[in-house]
Structure formats: C-alpha cells, structure tokens
Chains A and B, each alone.
Chain A
C-alpha cells in the first residue's frame, strides 16, 4: 500500500515533467528499455548523461570566454550536446541547443551567450526534477510501465 501512494506520486511527477515540456517521447523509449534485468536503467542513463554533458558544458563555457568566438567550434560542441540531450528526451534543453546553434550560424555572439545561459538553466532545472523523480522511483520500487501516461 505504501507503494501505491508513492507510485501515484511518481506518476504525477512524471506526468508533470511531460506536461511542462521537460521531457519528450524519447524518455518513454528509455523507460521501455527498463526491465527486470535493468531496473534502474533510466536513472543510470540520465546520470551518465549529466556526467558526460557536464564536460561539454564546460567546453562551451571556456570557448565563450575566448574572444572572438569560434562559432564553428561552439556549434560543434552544441551539436554534440544536442545529440546527447535528445537521446534522453530532454526536450527544453534540446530546443535551447537548437537556438544556440542558430546563433552560432548567424555569428551572433550576444545571442549565443544569452541562449547558453538559458540553456544552463533548463539543464539544471531538469536535473533537479529528475533527481527528485528518481528518488521517489527508487522508493516506490520498480516502476511498471503500465501506468505510463500517454
């Protein structure tokens, strides 16, 4: 019984993540990959993502400190970052990456900086929410995909 409320809470959190546009369909794909053999697959992947993408964020930050901006490099980094983010379904983060890349293409340094700030915000917000989510998930026990809101 305890799990039920937890489960319900979990579902609510999950739904909110989707409704607010933080996550997209790709996240569902990850969830579908989770099974008894890998009960914490999603969390593992997300953890890996945050660890790896932190490196790219750092690279971008450093690149933005060097003037003039090397837009090509910035674009390349962001391309990489975007690929990663999209693979876990980080919707807002991915969208902001696209904006950033556009600014890179149009050689708009200011735009890049602004966009990057926004992106970091979204990135941090998502991380916070997912951490909370996974915490509940662990407590709730293995999640059933059955109640996946669609």
Chain B
C-alpha cells in the first residue's frame, strides 16, 4: 500500500510543498532592532515567511499559540529577557522545531553550547544572505530524523503503524518489529513518508503537549521504565484519544534527547543524575514514589516532610510513589545508567528509606523542583510531585520521580533537572527546561508550568525550571529565582540543573528569577527543598544554574542518590547562596525567599544551591535549598555539608556507587551525608 505510492509520497514529501523552501515559516528573535530588520529583509528575499520579535518571551508565546505555525526559529544568543539557550531548550522540548542560534560571538565555547543545547546550526553575525538561504535544510533534516527516530524509538511502533497501514495486522510489537524491519527497509522512508504525508509531510500537525499530557506521558514512561518505554505502550498507557503513536514517538524521542542532554551527553556517565545537572534525577526518580515512602520510613526525612511530600506528591501525582520506584529505576533519568545513582539498586532502597529527600522536609511541597537531583530527591521529590500537583512539577523527575505524574505542569517539562523543578515554571509556559537536573529519568518534563514562571520558565532553565511546583507552593519555594532564565548556567534545561536540588531553580537562574517569577513557584521551592535534601550532593548540580546545568558535577550529586542524605542537604536552598557549595546550604542567598534552608545546616550539600545560581553564582550554585521548612531535616542528615557543591556530587556519587545496593543506609535515613565523603 504504500510501497508503490510511498515512493511517490516520499518524493512528494521531499518536495513538499512544491515551491519549497519558499514559504518556509521562520520566526526570528533578536533584541537588536537593526539586526532584526536586516534579517527579516534577508529572509523575505529568500521567499520565506518571516515573523520577527525582539523578546524571547514573546517568541515563546507566539510559538505556543501557534504550534504548527512555524517551521524554524532563528534566535540570538544574548538577549535581555532570556538566554537564547534557554529559549532553545524550551522550543526543543515544547515544539520540537529546529532552532538556529546566532551571535556576534564566535568563541568556540559558545558555539559548543549551541551544539550541546540542541541548536541545529549556529550563525556568526553579521549574518549573510547566503547563510540564510539554506536554512531550510534544517527543517528537512529534522523531519527526516524525527521520523527516523520515531522509527527507532518507536520503531516498533512505527513499524506497527506501518504494518497496520499496510497490513492492518494486529501484530504485536515484536511481530511488527520483524515485519517492520523488513518492510522498514523498503517502506521505511516510503511508508513513513506516506504516513507522514497524511499528517503533513513537511508540516506534521503537531500535538500540543500540554502539561497534563506531558505528565501523563512521563507517568507512562516511568511506569514502563525508560528502557522499555516504547511509543506503543506509552500510548496505551496514556490512553489519550486522538494521540497517535507517532506523536508519542516523537515526543519520546525529544524527551530522551532532553534527558540525555541533561545528563551531559553521556547519559550513562552521569547517570546518577542525569548528567550532572540534569540527569541526576535519573536514579532518583525511582525513588520518588517509593522513596517517599521509604524515606518517610527511613525517618530520615523528616517524617513530616516526607509525609507532606508524599502526600503532595501522591496527591498530585497520584501516588507517585508507586510509580516512582519502578520508574525510577528504569528511568531514572532515563535509565541513567547512573551508576551513581544506582537507584535501581541500592539506591532504591536507599531512596526509599533514605530520607526521601530532604526535600520533604521543609520542602514546601512545591518542591516541584525536581531539582533534587533526583537521586535523592527522588524520594524526596517525589513528594514533590504530588505536591505539585500542579502544575506540573513534573520536574520532579529528579529526586522524586514523583514528578512523573506531576507533570501537572504545563510544561514544566524541564523537570529533567533534579528537581524538575518544574517549578513554577511549569505552570507557565512549560518550562521545558527542566531537562536539566530534573530530567530524572522520568520524562518528567517538568512541565510544571504552574509556576507562574512565565518567566520564561527559563528559570529552570537549568532544568530546575522544570520542577517548579507550579506555583502552588507558596512561592517561597519558588523564590528561586527561577527566572533564572538568565542565570541558569547555560543549562539548557532549566530544570535539569538541579540535580535533585530542589532548589535547583533552574540552575541558578531560578533562584533569582524565581523570586520574582515564582510567585507561584514557591511551590517550586518546595521542590527544591526536596531536592536540596536530596541533592545535597551537589550543590554543584545547581551549579547548573550557573551553567545551566553543569550537572556534571551535579551528577555526582545525583549519584548521591544514595546519598539521600545529601538530598537532605540538598536543602534546596532556595536562596542558594550561590557558591555555597560548601555543604552549607545556607547559602540560601538564593533569592528565593523561600529559602528553604533546610533548616539543618547540614545542608552541606545543598545540592540545590540552586539559589546559588540565582545569585548568579556561576557555578557554585549548589543549590542549597535550604528548606527551612525542612526543619525536620536534621542537620545531620543534610549530607550536604559534605558536599560542597562539587563535593556533593562527588560525594553523592561516591555514596551511590559505593553504597549502591547496600547502602540504603547511606544515611539517608539520617541524611547524614556523612557517607558522602566529600
């Protein structure tokens, strides 16, 4: 059925529309009016359809409003209201459009950043017409790859689809696989194209991944386990009418990339937490659901906190706990290979018992911020998740996979970071950024949009953003400057940055921005707290903030999962006093008012130095989410001390690794980060 026509379809797909690339719909974002007008003219001369805007926020709004209205986005790197990379992350997660970055800066470092954040190209200003003439190639490439990815990830699915179409069979996935494979070869492109043709060869109608939808998605993925999450099953679990496997597959692909990115390129490497900043949550994720329980049990977590968190998380995410664990393992962060987090293994246990995350402690449930570098937070954070109920604190992927369900947010997809701090950002605009940190395995896309973070969600840019607990939480939490957007250390994913850091406030940016933005984000902070607790391990992770997800370090923190203790320490210091890496979460400097100051000074690893970032700490952002509320968080527990930002991570990692299976006791109970030899 398609074979014959497929070729034709393919062709047409290729050339669709006939006059392609004329009519290509481009969105240009640049705060410099001179450049903007020149670009517009150049693009018009190439026969493209141009829309220009001078603010990133506006661009996001336009894109959201008109999801299928654009084919490609060109954005400047340096903009006053939002870092271009954050915008890039957002777009990548939410709309999956190819994005070209531009800047007068041609330093290798910046260009590399563009690459790692997923830009499909990087142009040096002044931009010449020749450079713009061929941008359509990125659109084609993306579509092709997208299809291909779908094939791969949802390969079976695709195959199924194809099969179905052609054969109508009810092949089971495996069966389809076989068929698909064979047919894939020949029909691969053709069929795909064909299918795609229907959907819009070049202009596939896009599914709007709302926060709720994303949450469902993440929940499904978590349930299945990131390794086993195939589009078909996800689709089944989600049970959303009108949603096709293809939609799921492409979304999954994006999600995976997101997580991978969070984990810093090597998902495994960072494992524990999903690449230091973002990934960290990976392992933790599993913890979330279970952890909470465990944590609570562990006693480590201030029971209260845990309870709160759990309740919150559960409430929200509907018993995330149940999910978390399983998910966590698997997914943790997309199966972070997290060696560190080992959650699956020891971690889990730890997590469960471990102090679920200090997050819970004081974490104002809004902890959405998954930042809790998942590792620990997962447990903790999971709580968050529930709490977030919101808005998607999907960020919770970190620590608390609770997040999973938490997607609540609209888009706080970013939960990737530890805490998917979906933070408030979710509520907003879908802080897709959560990728950082929170990526915790769970596709947590921290959609936490709740957070009024409209800020651009970028707040979490570090990934933290993702976890926002959307607003619900008294902004205290969110005080993370979630606004981060600027601050987040470059982390593409806002959320990701806070590995476990509850406060990960998007890596730093949260913190600062949060305050303002987070109004609602307060809840966010909660997440952070969780994360903080959890992530104590690494304030560094929060550094993410600075770096936008310098999770690399954080990763360690994530690994700390085992270190839950760390999480404790992770005290999401909302105020992350940037730079406080030193185990002291105290750095609450973080703007976040909510400084959760984990009460326990032990925040040593406040991983969440998220606030740090806010302070524009370049890297220190060990998000120390000091969750004041964490009160329970025994100082001792706060491993965080040990972890000086960097240390936390390492400590966490160490813990994790060492501890992993057996560890459970990492002190999670007591949050004693001690284990985490920093």
Contacts and interface: CB of A to CB of B under 8 A. Distances in A.
A33 B129 CA distance: 9
Interface string B115-126: 000000000011
B45 interface: yes
A29 interface: yes
Contact of A48 (B33, B103, B125, B128): B33
A29 B34 contact: no
Nearest to A27: B126
A33 B104 contact: no
Interface in A23-51: 26, 29-30, 32-33, 38, 41, 44-45, 48-49
Contacts of B35: 83-84, 87
Interface in A78-133: 79-80, 82-84, 86-89
B109 to A, nearest CB: 14
A82 B38 contact: no
Given A32-B129, A84-B35, A38 B104 contact: no
B651 interface: no
A52 interface: yes
B105 interface: yes
A84 B129 contact: no
A80 B105 CA distance: 10
A33 B33 contact: no
Nearest to B130: A29
Contacts of A29: 38, 42, 126, 128-129
Contact of A49 (B34, B41, B42): B34
A79 B104 contact: yes
Interface residues of B, number: 18
Nearest to A86: B126
Contacts of A88: 34, 38
Given A29-B128, A80-B78, A48 B37 contact: yes
Given A26-B126, A86-B104, A52 B41 contact: no
B34 A33 contact: no
Interface in B312-348: none
Contacts of A44: 37
A45 B126 contact: no
B34 A48 contact: yes
Contacts of A49: 34
Contacts of B236: none
Interface residues of A, number: 23
Given A33-B38, A33-B45, A48-B34, A86 B125 contact: yes
B170 interface: no
B32 interface: yes
Contacts of A86: 104, 125-126
B45 A87 contact: no
Interface string A53-67: 100000000000000
A67 to B, nearest CB: 22
Contact of A45 (B38, B125, B129): B38
Nearest to B33: A52
Interface string B20-40: 000000000000111101100
A38 B38 CA distance: 12
A79 B78 contact: yes
A38 B125 contact: no
> By CB atoms of chain B within 10 A, which of A76, A79, A82, A83 has the most?
A83
A41 B32 contact: no
A2 B569 CA distance: 81
A69 to B, nearest CB: 19
B119 to A, nearest CB: 18
A12 B103 CA distance: 33
B97 to A, nearest CB: 24
A34 to B, nearest CB: 9
A76 to B, nearest CB: 8
Contacts of B33: 48, 52
Contact of A38 (B41, B78, B105, B126): B41
A30 B38 contact: yes
A17 B34 CA distance: 20
Contacts of A83: 32, 35, 103-104, 125-126
Contacts of B103: 83
A124 to B, nearest CB: 18
Contacts of B105: 79
B42 A84 contact: no
Nearest to B45: A33
Given A79-B78, A83-B125, A86-B125, A52 B104 contact: no
A79 B33 CA distance: 15
A118 to B, nearest CB: 20
A31 to B, nearest CB: 11
Contacts of A82: 104
Nearest to B42: A33
B38 A87 contact: yes
B78 A45 contact: no
A53 B78 CA distance: 16
A80 B32 contact: yes
Contacts of A45: 34, 37-38
A42 to B, nearest CB: 10
A89 B38 CA distance: 12
Contacts of A30: 38
A49 B35 CA distance: 9
Given A45-B34, A84-B35, A89 B104 contact: no
Nearest to A37: B44
Nearest to B125: A83
Nearest to A32: B129
Nearest to A25: B128
Interface string B88-131: 00000000000000011100000000000000000001111100
Contacts of B37: 44-45, 48
Chain A to chain B: the 7 pairs with minimum beta-carbon distance, closest first: A83-B104, A49-B34, A87-B126, A86-B126, A26-B126, A33-B41, A87-B35
Interface of A: 26, 29-30, 32-33, 38, 41, 44-45, 48-49, 52-53, 76, 79-80, 82-84, 86-89
Interface of B: 32-35, 37-38, 41-42, 45, 78, 103-105, 125-129
8 contacts: A38-B41, A45-B37, A45-B38, A48-B37, A53-B34, A84-B32, A87-B126, A87-B127
